């Protein structure tokens, strides 16, 4: 019997049965399309954003305007990727608690206010603004996937913040640096 779902099946890199809309901190990494250097440069361990990088940064800080309970934390735009922490704050979710009911996130079944939905919206907004700014409707900005890590303790949050803040200083030795990939 043929598969009734004509869409290709992607293997999820998300934690199985984890509710990505629950309160907590999430460390996010999103890479540029084909890991190209699109967003700017690192000079003297400082990030120098170009116009595209400025759009990437501005859209990050706009997330709470679209997702009231999502608070952006420490964030850095690197030449070909971004790192940031998102916090989903406590909120009243239902008038009557729905115990034991959890619908897994999927592309065709988004969960409102979940990390996948926030990132999908963020990537879409960035892409739309960049395409308009460059007058290039076909311009590819992002890779399909992104990486997230659920930060489960204050120590994990502290380590993620330290990593993000040190990232520009470590760029010269970073495996994501196209200049390092030549060696």
Write down all domains in the chain, each with its CATH number in brackets. Answer: 24-92+104-168 (3.30.70.1290)
The strand pairing partners of 147, in sequence order, are 29
The strand pairing partners of 42, in sequence order, are 47
DSSP string across 27-85: EEEEEBGGG---SEEEETTEEEE-HHHHHHHHHHHTHHHH-TTEEEEEEEE-SSEEEEE
**What per-residue confidence (pLDDT) applies to 130?**
97
Give the pTM: 0.81
Size of the chain, expressed as the number of residues it contains? 183
**What per-residue confidence (pLDDT) applies to 100?**
47
**What per-residue confidence (pLDDT) applies to 117?**
92
Profile the chain (183 residues) by mean pLDDT over runs of 10 residues: 53 58 92 95 93 98 95 96 94 50 56 88 97 96 93 96 95 73 48
């Amino acid at each position: 019997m043929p598969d009734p779902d004509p869409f290709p099946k992607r293997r999820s890199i998300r934690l199985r049965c984890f509710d990505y809309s629950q309160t907590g901190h999430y460390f996010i990494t999103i890479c540029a399309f084909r890991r190209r250097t699109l967003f700017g440069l690192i000079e003297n361990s400082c990030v120098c954003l170009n116009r595209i990088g400025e759009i990437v940064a501005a859209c990050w800080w706009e997330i709470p305007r679209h997702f009231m309970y999502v608070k952006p934390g420490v964030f850095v735009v690197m030449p070909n990727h971004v790192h940031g922490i998102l916090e989903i704050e406590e909120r009243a979710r239902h008038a009557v608690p729905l115990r034991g009911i959890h619908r897994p996130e999927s592309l065709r079944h988004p969960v409102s206010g979940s990390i996948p939905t926030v990132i999908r919206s963020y990537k879409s907004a960035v892409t739309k603004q960049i395409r308009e700014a460059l007058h290039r409707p076909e311009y590819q900005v992002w890779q399909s996937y992104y990486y997230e890590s659920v930060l489960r303790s204050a120590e994990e949050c502290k380590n993620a913040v330290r990593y993000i803040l040190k990232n520009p200083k470590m760029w010269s030795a970073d495996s994501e640096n196209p200049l390092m990939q030549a060696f």
